[in-house]
Amino acid sequence: MSDNTNDLPNRQQLFLNLYQEVFPIAAKFIRKQGGNLEEAKDVFQDALIVYYERVVVGSGKRLNVDSNQGYLLAVTRNLWYKRVNEHRNFESLSKANEVKSEGQETHLSSMKLLSILETSGRKCLEILQSFYYHKVSMTDLASQFGFASRRSATVQKYKCLEKVRDQLKDKNITYEDFFERN
Amino acid sequence: MRTSLKEIENIEGFLLQKIPTDESLVFQSRMIINPELKYKTSCQQKAYEVIQLAGRVALRNELMAVENSIFKKSAFRKKITKIFESKN
């Protein structure tokens, strides 16, 4: 949507504005639905991630709403309903099978992720995330990281990607390894 | 650019659909006759997934920092607390 959200200070300002303007409305909705403050925070945080990935840096796929505020609220509502349904389904499944719910949830093993990526070096990690996650253009990336040209930034990006790829190759790590059970 | 990096660039073109359909079909044919290329392509796909997941983890940390900072502001905290104290 906009290039200026690609760096951290601008992203922080964007999120701060969205918390100020949209979170109170989202909180009122979740309160009316019987949710508490912690649930409101969780759902809104997930909605912001969806909003960021789809609208701010994504391909611009939007729901049929005009404003970003409307989009964010629509995502918040959908995520809330999904959460409530999953909770209900999980409860009924637990009762039927007499399965304890505690400790069954999968969580992303961020430490494992970071340990792999950090072997490529801090700068590499930032370059790869900037390009592939935050969708920073190669021209902006070259400027941000002090490369002489777009071409030399591209070469460095591929060198970093090669390091990560080889790390995955050597350790024979699978996608499932990034999730662990508590 | 050295050969191995050129190959990474080609694999990226295929995986991220940056190349036209006919070139993509040629690449798929090359993978059939070259298992090593197929394996490298699979590993590169995993690398993109790892980067994506790590990006999301980092973004969540940024959001938590913003959330913590805004809830430190007394007026905002009171406004939100009031919503959850009120009756439905």
Q: Could you tell me which residues are beta bridge partners of residue A107?
A: A180
Closest to A73 (Cα-Cα) out of A21, A17, A108, A125: A21
Chain B residue nearest residue A33, CA to CA: B88
Q: Are the C-beta atoms of A91 and A44 separated by less than 8 Å?
A: no
The reported pLDDT for the residue numbered A181 is 44
User: Which amino acid makes up residue A98?
Assistant: E
For residues A71 and A181, give the distance between their C-alpha atoms in angstroms, rounded to a whole number: 33
Instruction: Give A-chain residues touching B52 at CB under 8 angstroms.
Output: 132-133
Q: Does A135 touch chain B (CB under 8 A)?
A: no
The reported pLDDT for the residue numbered B38 is 93
Residue B88 to residue A117, Cβ atoms within 8 A? no
The reported pLDDT for the residue numbered A111 is 64
Give the ranges where chain A is alpha helix by DSSP (H): 8-32, 37-51, 68-97, 110-118, 122-128, 138-144, 150-171
Chain B residue nearest residue A6, CA to CA: B59
Q: From the first residue on, what is the mean pLDDT of each consecutive set of 10 residues in chain A (182 residues)?
A: 62 91 95 94 95 81 62 94 82 52 42 71 90 93 94 95 84 54 42
DSSP character for B32? Answer: H
Instruction: Give me the mean pLDDT over the B68-74 stretch.
Output: 94
Residue A129 to residue B58, Cβ atoms within 8 A? yes
The reported pLDDT for the residue numbered A108 is 43
pTM over 0.90: no
Q: How many angstroms separate the CA of residue A148 from the nearest CA in chain B?
A: 15
Q: Are the C-beta atoms of A119 and B54 separated by less than 8 Å?
A: no
Q: Could you tell me which residues are beta bridge partners of residue A180?
A: A107
How much is the ipTM here? 0.88
Instruction: List C-alpha distances in Å: B60 to A44, A45, A46, A158.
Output: 11, 7, 8, 26
Give, to the nearest 10 degrees, the angle between helix A150-171 and helix A110-118. Answer: 120
| pLDDT tens-digit readout, B18-51 | 999 999 999 999 999 999 999 999 999 989 988 9
**Residue B14 neighbours by CB under 8 Å, 6+ apart:** B23, B24, B27, B28, B41
Q: Does A113 touch chain B (CB under 8 A)?
A: yes
